[in-house]
Structure formats: structure tokens, C-alpha cells
Amino acid sequence: MKKFIVTGGSGFIGSNLVKFLLKKKFFVINIDKLNYSANPYNLREIKKNKKYKFFKLDINKRNQIYNIFNKFKPDGVFNLAAETHVDRSIDNPKKFIESNIYGVYNLLEVLNKYCKKNKKKIKFIHISTDEVFGDLKKGERSDENFPYNPSSPYSASKASADLLIKSFVRTYKLPVIISNCCNNYGPNQFPEKFIPKLIYNIITNRPLPIYGKGKNSREWIHVKDHCEALLKIFLRGKIGETYNVGSKQNISNINLAKKLLKKIKIKSFKINKKVKIIFVKDRPGHDFRYALNSRKILKEMGWKTKITLDQGLSQTFDWYLHNKSFFNSVSKKLHVNRLGLKI
């Protein structure tokens, strides 16, 4: 039975990946320091699963992380431990440097030492983002060789980690693969992020705040499709390579909010009059457009998304509606961000 370490396994994508891997009958070790975006609700149903182990630990704790590698001798590692919210990175970049750069450096040192002492093959998949490529022009799509041009402390920290990894692969021949994915949505996402924030406000009869004029455009992937891509990358990806993971489903924020409202109107859910789109002061340095060229993963591995944005939005709304306790178990140490998040 294959064994995987997932770091950041209690957060949004990590918890979906942990459950996805367990469903495939793999053994999963989750390492997470449990910051504000980790939610116990996300993994409540698997706590007693015999194929699941959890360690509350910061990825910067080098000796302890090394001991976990050595004890379990995993076939693969998926690194999703990171600070992830752009607004928070603008207010407090330090944490992003600590987890997203120093944390990755630490994992690379652990991997280097581990590989020198162990013959068993291991693949380390680092989960990065399309934001490293920065603002794209209309019609442009960034492939894996597109120049990095990050705009926020968050995307700069992710870009730094990617470059550090590339240098470690070349210099120390470490078995690492990078994936750069577009915006994810789906169950378990902390409601400071755009889609769960919209859904939370719709369910609780509040206005829907949107930055600027809502013209900023993103590419959206359902988290389940992302998990499938990550497993494919582990199984078929080449060491030292980078793979874009995109859906080609690009939409502006305003059109996304409208699409969501339209989807919900078709259901029997009654939308309160207070639920209306309002525009708020734009985020500083806000990238206008991200769009990936993901032909490489399609061509080399035959991977493509299965869930359309229409299907995914509808399912995602239903999930939050039927799991209102998710919102109750969200950390109360909330940062009231520029969108005025209040729970």
C-alpha cells in the first residue's frame, strides 16, 4: 500500500486531498500546524481511520519532520502547507516568508538528508499557483516556461519557493515536481476566499462585496479535479518538471457572482433582498487576469478537468448549505479583511 505525507492536510485543498487519497485506499500522514484556516470540521469523518495519522507540527520543525519521513518512509509527499490569503500577505508578509519560503527550504533540507540515507524511491510534489506568473494580457495564457512576475507578497513567496526548488533539483538532484494550479473552489474552503464568502453571505442575507468594478478575471477549478491531477502528477510526472493545472474556465469576478446567483435562483433557495452585489475599494496591486496554458499535462498524462464551472458551483453551494456547521467551526480569530469579512 502506497504511503503519502500531505502537509497542510487540514486546510482546504489538503483536506480534500487527504480524503481523496484515503478513498483510493492509500495510507495518509497529515502534517499541519493548524493555523486559522485549518478547520477540524474538514476531517471529522476520518479521524478514526486506521490508515490516517495526524501530526500537529510546523513544517519548519526540521528534526521532527525528518523523523516522520524516516518512520513512515513515504512513497510521496504533497506539500500544501502555506499561508494562502493575498489580503493577509499585504497586511503581514512575515508569516508568508516563514511558511512559504523558509518552510519549503526546510522541507528540501529534510528531503535531501532523507534521500542520502534511504534507497526507497520518493517523489515530492510541491503545490504552487498560477499567481507566480502575475498579471496576464487579454488573450495571453502562461505555459510552464512563462516568466515569473509575482505582484503580491503571497505570490512572491510562492514564486521564491518554486525557484528555490528548481535550484535544489538541479544542484542536489532532489526528486521534486512542481504543480502550478489556478483558483480552486469546493467544500471546506475558509470563507475569506471569494466563492465561500459569496455563499456565506447569500445564506446569511448579507450584501456580496466585490473589489473594484469586478472585472478582474480568474481561472477556476473544482478541488476534486485538482486532487485527481495531483495524483496523476505523482504517478506519471517527471522529476524536475513543472506542470500547469488549469481548467480553461476563465470568468470575471462580477460574472462569477452573477452566475452563482442565477444557479441558486433555479434551486428552491429563497434569496433575501439584502443579498445584492456591492463594489468595494480595490485591493492594492490587484492582478487583473490569470490564465494558464495547461496543454502539457493534457498531452503527457491525458489529464483534464471533469467538472464544469456550472456543475461545480451548484454542487458547492449545496455543500455549504447542507454543512452550515462548517461556518460555525471556522476559527473565530478572524481578520476582518478588505471585503469586510464577519462571521
Nearest approach, Cβ of residue 316 and ligand NAD (Å): 13
Q: Which residue is nearest to ligand NAD (CB)?
A: 11
Cell numbers standing for residue 69: 519521513
Cα–Cα distance for residue pair 19/231, rounded to 1 Å: 13
Closest distance between ligand NAD and the C-beta of residue 187, in Å?
12
Closest separation between CB of residue 312 and ligand NAD, Å?
13
Q: Considering the complex, what minimum distance in angstroms separates the CB of residue 326 from ligand NAD?
A: 12
Give alpha helix (H) positions in the chain.
Answer: 12-23, 62-72, 86-91, 93-96, 103-117, 153-172, 194-203, 223-236, 253-266, 295-301, 309-322, 324-328
Catalytic residues: 130-131, 154
Rounded to the nearest whole angstrom, what is the least distance from the CB of residue 22 to ligand NAD in the complex?
Answer: 17
Nearer to ligand NAD, 278 or 336 (CB): 336
Phi, psi of 42 (to 5 degrees): -60, -30
Q: Which of 305, 67, 327 is nearest to 190 (CA)?
A: 327
Residue 137 and residue 215: Cα distance in Å, rounded?
Answer: 13
3-state helix, strand, coil in the chain (%, to 5): 45, 15, 40
Q: Can you name the residues that pair with 5 across neighbouring β-strands?
A: 29, 77
- The site for ligand NAD (CB under 6 A) is made up of 7-8, 10-14, 32-35, 37-38, 58-60, 80-84, 99, 103, 127, 129, 158, 181, 183-184, 190
Residues near 176 by Cβ (< 8 Å), separated by ≥ 6?
Answer: 108, 111, 123, 124, 125, 126, 165, 168, 169, 239, 240
Q: Which of 286, 285, 218, 225 is nearest to 253 (CA)?
A: 218
